[in-house]
Chain A
Amino acid sequence: MTTTTPKKSPNIGAIVIITIAIGLNLVIAKMMANWSYSWFPPQASSAAPYVDDLFALETGIGSFIFFGCTGFMGWVLLFNRAGKYDESDGAPIEGNTKLEITWTIIPLVTVFLIATYSMNVNMKLQTLGPKHKYAIGTDPTVLIAKDPKADVGPIDVIARQWSWEFVYPNGVRSSELHLPVDQRVNFRLISEDVLHSFFVPAFRLKQDIIPGSIISYSLTPTKEGRFRLRDAMFSGAYFSQNQTNVVVESEATYTNWLKTAADQPLQPGLDPGRALYDRRLARGDKGWATVPPAPPPQVNDPGDPSIPHDA
């Protein structure tokens, strides 16, 4: 017995609503992506636009997924709620293999594309250089060749519990990191004790500093200003205070600073942990155990922590 089942006419209402919803979602996703740029500090390095663009892309895609899924949940909560004494069952749908395969394949392709694109972005950053282990007590700087693409440096970045010291090629030592704008600078990251991290939010860059290793790291600042450099790897009692400033200035100002600093006598540099530790000792060394701070670095320019920072 053959019967022709009448072809179900497409549910126009549903298609319209879904199209509008998707369209609205796309608009909101784009708005979120644009808004995400304002969630960052100002862009102060050549890496920053890449990072911010990638984040905006992921914010857009993420917003689309989030609002899509939660909008769906909202719809269900509005229209599929059981009445107070309604104990009946819902629609007895066990699955839909085609749909399940689709929602396995599409995310698979999507994450693969995002990962490939991100890998390319990461390679464009061109910041990370070689890392060499050295025997403590020997001079690590001989192990690392200067970054051939860098115009400035190598500047030694020495991290301690709890201070920063910067040593310039001409021998100048400083507590604040002065850099000329728009020139690629190469650093040699060195730690004298425990793990630290070289983090400048305005640059969007971070690299841990590992005791027993020397790491070559390069970047190009693109905006003049005073930007925070924070230690981002937990390093002990006064780790929160282990911050200093990166001063990005014009080439002329930078060269001038280098010359002036070279003439200044060495003095104790920025040592934020020391004051707190001394206060602790004055109160009878109360508190849980900590190593004493490293002696302050002897620098030509101790910087001025009272000047406010831009980001």
Chain B
Amino acid sequence: MTITNYDPRILKAPHPVPGAPDNWKRFFSFNTDAKVIGIQYIVTSLFFLLVGGLLAMIVRGELLTPPADLVDPTVYNGLYTMHGTVMLFLFLFPILNGFNNLLIPTMIGAPDMAFPKLNAAAFWLVPVFATVLMGSFFAPGGPASSGWWSYPPMSLQNPLGHFINGQFLWILAVALSGISSIMGAVNFVTTIIRMRAPGMGFFKMPIFIWTAWAAQTIQLIGLPPLTGGAVMLLFDLSFGTSFFRPEGGGDPVLFQHFFWFYSHPAVYVLVLPVFGIFSELFPVYARKPLFGYKFVAIASFGITFLSMIVWAHHMFYTGTPNWMRHIFMFTTMLIAVPTGVKVFAWLGTLWRGNLRLNTPMLFCLGGLFNFIFAGITGVMLATVPIDIHVGNTAFVVAHFHYVIFNTIGLGVFAGIYHWFPKFTGRMYYEGLGKVHFVLTFIGATLNWLPLHWAGLLGMPRRVASYDPEFAIWNVLGSIGAFMLGVASIPFILNMVSSWARGPQAPPNPWRAIGLEWLLPSPPPAENFQDDIPTVINEPYGYGLGRPLVEDEEFYVRRSQEA
């Protein structure tokens, strides 16, 4: 059904309508519709994925050869610092908030978020702190160059002595990002607790909602200490205090505690929603219920709780005593248990399914494959004697990129392809999607698998130059990185041309079970509006012949006729 005359009610609607003119204006305004905000977050973060990726290309270009011959070492240090910072704060956190915005209201049958204006404000902080962070490239002395951790005393050195310097702007940007995230977290948690559809008790919620809730709870508890640590760092940098400065009696290791108390749980903030995406997609594309739904749901909060007590595994060889190292080794290894529950649940979901290997499923399978590997190297890193050897080497870089890109990144792509038809109203091109997958999977494996061996042999991380014996691993890694750069091309082409002129998407192209699939593609403002379905069964009822909601056919027809 193409729209040929533009009914003024459609034009005034806050949600985008395929084919209508002036769609783009909605995305550049202070729009309070969660579905618009979601797309604002996602597109903004994908732009910064490219920025972070470009920085990575330069880093891997430098590491192609042993000597530091591409850029000045100080420039290298700034580039890798900003690569990490951009990827985390301008790509990963925003894109997951984008998914939250699109999926939370629609999956629970709510008309919008609990606090729509707060929602929009949280998004618009992103361009603000993005400008501050990108602007820091032009600060006197260059951007922050002490790694994304900004460990003092290194980060306090401020060689040129200016008040406004790259590190200062970095702290400011991260603080603003924290404020934006807390605004989002309050919104998401309130919405999930208070605005679920009638009949949707906690154990009838989709797993994505469970994991989003678990992740945002971590944000609420974990972000404040980071903000506190950042404020103290800022004061040390700019106002002459000595919280972390040894000359004034401060303790550099204390910063590490503040920093990691948030930043470890932060990685679970990143991975939990992707676990949610896997839990949503495997049932759809295997046409089977999720295996062990209740265990998977509870495991989400098991991870939340455990994630708060593992932080010092980042400090096994820094300034911690042995008893502390042992405690955190135990808690860190424990976290493998709820994570394992999820992995086995996905494997159980695949078993005897009827698998359809389209792009979202391929990304999920690739992500799961990589995650099993990453989880194992994670247990190795949790082992104190092993971590003492491989800590701060390329082994760690390989491990965390295996989680962050090879699992989370692939999961994010899976989610984008899966929900693209729902929220843009267009189908993407499947062929290009498969090309994107193949290039990404091979590129990512080539980029980080070899680095494990470089680390075991003793190559430190964050180096611009290295001893010649590490060359082969780095050449392989750099080839993989360049391949990943190339892989972005089919993705961008697919997204842009599909959204502009892809075939129109039906309400439920994947024949999936979920409240969001009972809405038109794209859903109207306020989603179900005044007629919210009553949920009567658990989710993922594939092959069980039971409806998700009361009067399901009514809602199906309603979505098709809108």
Report A's interface with B, CB cutoff 8 A.
39-41, 47, 50-51, 54-55, 58-59, 62, 65-66, 69-70, 72-73, 76-77, 80-82, 86-97, 99-100, 103-104, 107-108, 111-112, 114-115, 118-119, 121-123, 125, 128, 131, 133, 135-136, 193-195, 197, 199, 201-202, 204-208, 210-213, 215, 228, 230-241, 243, 276, 280, 286-291, 309, 311
- Per the 8 Å Cβ criterion, residues 114-150 of B in contact with A are 140-143, 145-147
Q: How far is the CA of A47 from the CA of B388 in the complex (A)?
A: 11
Q: How far is the CA of A286 from the CA of B141 in the complex (A)?
A: 10
Q: How far is the CA of A72 from the CA of B351 in the complex (A)?
A: 8
- Per the 8 Å Cβ criterion, residues 310-342 of B in contact with A are 317-319, 321-322, 325-326, 329-330, 333-334, 336-337, 340-341
Contacts known (A51-B385, A76-B353); A236 close to B157, Cβ less than 8 A? yes
Please give, as numbers and ranges, the residues of chain B lying within 8 Å of A119 by CB-CB distance: 326, 329-330, 384
Beta-carbon contact of B356 and A82 below 8 Å: yes
Beta-carbon contact of B77 and A54 below 8 Å: no
Question: From residue A39, how far is it (CB to closest CB) to chain B in Å?
Answer: 5
6 smallest CB-CB distances across A and B, nearest first, come from A212-B246, A201-B458, A288-B142, A289-B141, A89-B543, A92-B543
- Per the 8 Å Cβ criterion, residues 203-248 of B in contact with A are 246-247
Question: From residue B14, how far is it (CB to closest CB) to chain A in Å?
Answer: 35
B354 on interface, CB distance cutoff 8 Å: yes
Contacts known (A131-B319, A232-B392); A115 close to B329, Cβ less than 8 A? yes
Beta-carbon contact of A95 and B453 below 8 Å: no
Q: How far is the CA of A41 from the CA of B470 in the complex (A)?
A: 12
Beta-carbon contact of A241 and B465 below 8 Å: yes
Beta-carbon contact of A66 and B376 below 8 Å: yes
Question: From residue A260, how far is it (CB to closest CB) to chain B in Å?
Answer: 28
Q: Please tell me which one of the listed residues B77, B289, B456 contacts residue A236 in the complex, with CB atoms under 8 A apart.
A: B77
- With both beta carbons as reference points, the residue of chain A lying nearest to B340 in the complex is identified as A107
Beta-carbon contact of B289 and A287 below 8 Å: no
Name the segment of B67-75, B181-189, B403-411 touching the other chain. B67-75
- With both beta carbons as reference points, the residue of chain B lying nearest to A238 in the complex is identified as B73
- Per the 8 Å Cβ criterion, residues 428-469 of B in contact with A are 453, 456-458, 460-467
Beta-carbon contact of A237 and B77 below 8 Å: yes
Please give, as numbers and ranges, the residues of chain A lying within 8 Å of B30 by CB-CB distance: none
Question: From residue A285, how far is it (CB to closest CB) to chain B in Å?
Answer: 10
Beta-carbon contact of B330 and A77 below 8 Å: no
The number of chain B residues touching the other chain, given as a range, is 35 or more
Beta-carbon contact of B392 and A206 below 8 Å: yes
Please give, as numbers and ranges, the residues of chain A lying within 8 Å of B151 by CB-CB distance: 195, 233-234
Beta-carbon contact of B352 and A91 below 8 Å: yes
Q: How far is the CA of A42 from the CA of B331 in the complex (A)?
A: 32
Question: From residue A236, how far is it (CB to closest CB) to chain B in Å?
Answer: 6
Beta-carbon contact of B511 and A87 below 8 Å: yes
Beta-carbon contact of A197 and B317 below 8 Å: yes
Beta-carbon contact of B287 and A82 below 8 Å: yes
B357 on interface, CB distance cutoff 8 Å: yes
Q: How far is the CA of A231 from the CA of B142 in the complex (A)?
A: 24
B544 on interface, CB distance cutoff 8 Å: yes
Beta-carbon contact of A211 and B246 below 8 Å: yes
Question: From residue A147, how far is it (CB to closest CB) to chain B in Å?
Answer: 15
Q: How far is the CA of A70 from the CA of B463 in the complex (A)?
A: 34
Please give, as numbers and ranges, the residues of chain A lying within 8 Å of B341 by CB-CB distance: 100, 103-104
Beta-carbon contact of B372 and A66 below 8 Å: yes
Q: Please tell me which one of the listed residues A90, A136, A194, A235 contacts residue B352 in the complex, with CB atoms under 8 A apart.
A: A90
Beta-carbon contact of B340 and A103 below 8 Å: yes
Question: From residue B281, how far is it (CB to closest CB) to chain A in Å?
Answer: 14
Question: From residue A40, how far is it (CB to closest CB) to chain B in Å?
Answer: 6
B92 on interface, CB distance cutoff 8 Å: no
Beta-carbon contact of B392 and A210 below 8 Å: no
B477 on interface, CB distance cutoff 8 Å: no
B389 on interface, CB distance cutoff 8 Å: yes
Please give, as numbers and ranges, the residues of chain B lying within 8 Å of A287 by CB-CB distance: 72-75, 142
Can you name 19 extra interface pairs (CB under 8 A) apart from A115-B382, A205-B388, A288-B142? A51-B385, A54-B385, A58-B386, A70-B369, A73-B365, A77-B357, A80-B352, A93-B289, A93-B291, A96-B292, A107-B336, A201-B458, A205-B389, A210-B246, A210-B252, A210-B318, A234-B146, A235-B154, A288-B74
Beta-carbon contact of B74 and A118 below 8 Å: no
Q: How far is the CA of A311 from the CA of B457 in the complex (A)?
A: 8
Beta-carbon contact of B460 and A231 below 8 Å: yes
Beta-carbon contact of A111 and B379 below 8 Å: yes
Q: How far is the CA of A123 from the CA of B385 in the complex (A)?
A: 9
Please give, as numbers and ranges, the residues of chain A lying within 8 Å of B383 by CB-CB distance: 54, 58, 114-115, 118
Contacts known (A122-B322, A311-B458); A62 close to B385, Cβ less than 8 A? no
B380 on interface, CB distance cutoff 8 Å: yes
Q: How far is the CA of A77 from the CA of B366 in the complex (A)?
A: 12
Question: From residue B1, how far is it (CB to closest CB) to chain A in Å?
Answer: 24
B347 on interface, CB distance cutoff 8 Å: yes
Q: Please tell me which one of the listed residues A88, A195, A204, A215 contacts residue B154 in the complex, with CB atoms under 8 A apart.
A: A195
B113 on interface, CB distance cutoff 8 Å: no
Of A70, A128, A194, most buried by chain B (CB within 10 Å of CB) is: A194
Beta-carbon contact of B252 and A286 below 8 Å: no
Q: How far is the CA of A62 from the CA of B393 in the complex (A)?
A: 20
Beta-carbon contact of B246 and A82 below 8 Å: no
Please give, as numbers and ranges, the residues of chain A lying within 8 Å of B253 by CB-CB distance: 210
Beta-carbon contact of B380 and A107 below 8 Å: no
Question: From residue A159, how far is it (CB to closest CB) to chain B in Å?
Answer: 13
Question: From residue B546, how far is it (CB to closest CB) to chain A in Å?
Answer: 10
Beta-carbon contact of A206 and B389 below 8 Å: yes
B21 on interface, CB distance cutoff 8 Å: no
Beta-carbon contact of B379 and A210 below 8 Å: no
Contacts known (A90-B288, A122-B325, A290-B159); A58 close to B379, Cβ less than 8 A? yes
B555 on interface, CB distance cutoff 8 Å: no
Contacts known (A65-B376, A104-B337); A72 close to B347, Cβ less than 8 A? yes
Q: How far is the CA of A123 from the CA of B384 in the complex (A)?
A: 10
B350 on interface, CB distance cutoff 8 Å: yes
Beta-carbon contact of B317 and A206 below 8 Å: yes
Please give, as numbers and ranges, the residues of chain A lying within 8 Å of B286 by CB-CB distance: 80, 90
5 contacts between A and B (CB under 8 A): A54-B385, A82-B355, A86-B354, A118-B386, A195-B154
Q: Please tell me which one of the listed residues A40, A100, A123, A237 contacts residue B322 in the complex, with CB atoms under 8 A apart.
A: A123
Contacts known (A54-B385, A62-B376, A95-B291); A194 close to B153, Cβ less than 8 A? yes
B94 on interface, CB distance cutoff 8 Å: no
Question: From residue B303, how far is it (CB to closest CB) to chain A in Å?
Answer: 13
Q: How far is the CA of A102 from the CA of B143 in the complex (A)?
A: 51
Q: How far is the CA of A276 from the CA of B542 in the complex (A)?
A: 65
Contacts known (A95-B293, A119-B329); A237 close to B73, Cβ less than 8 A? yes
- With both beta carbons as reference points, the residue of chain B lying nearest to A276 in the complex is identified as B73
Contacts known (A131-B321, A288-B75); A69 close to B385, Cβ less than 8 A? no
B28 on interface, CB distance cutoff 8 Å: no
Question: From residue A293, how far is it (CB to closest CB) to chain B in Å?
Answer: 12
Beta-carbon contact of A81 and B355 below 8 Å: yes
B485 on interface, CB distance cutoff 8 Å: no
B506 on interface, CB distance cutoff 8 Å: no
Question: From residue A203, how far is it (CB to closest CB) to chain B in Å?
Answer: 9
Beta-carbon contact of B463 and A207 below 8 Å: no
Q: How far is the CA of A232 from the CA of B382 in the complex (A)?
A: 18
Please give, as numbers and ranges, the residues of chain A lying within 8 Å of B388 by CB-CB distance: 51, 204-207
Please give, as numbers and ranges, the residues of chain B lying within 8 Å of A62 by CB-CB distance: 376-377, 379-380
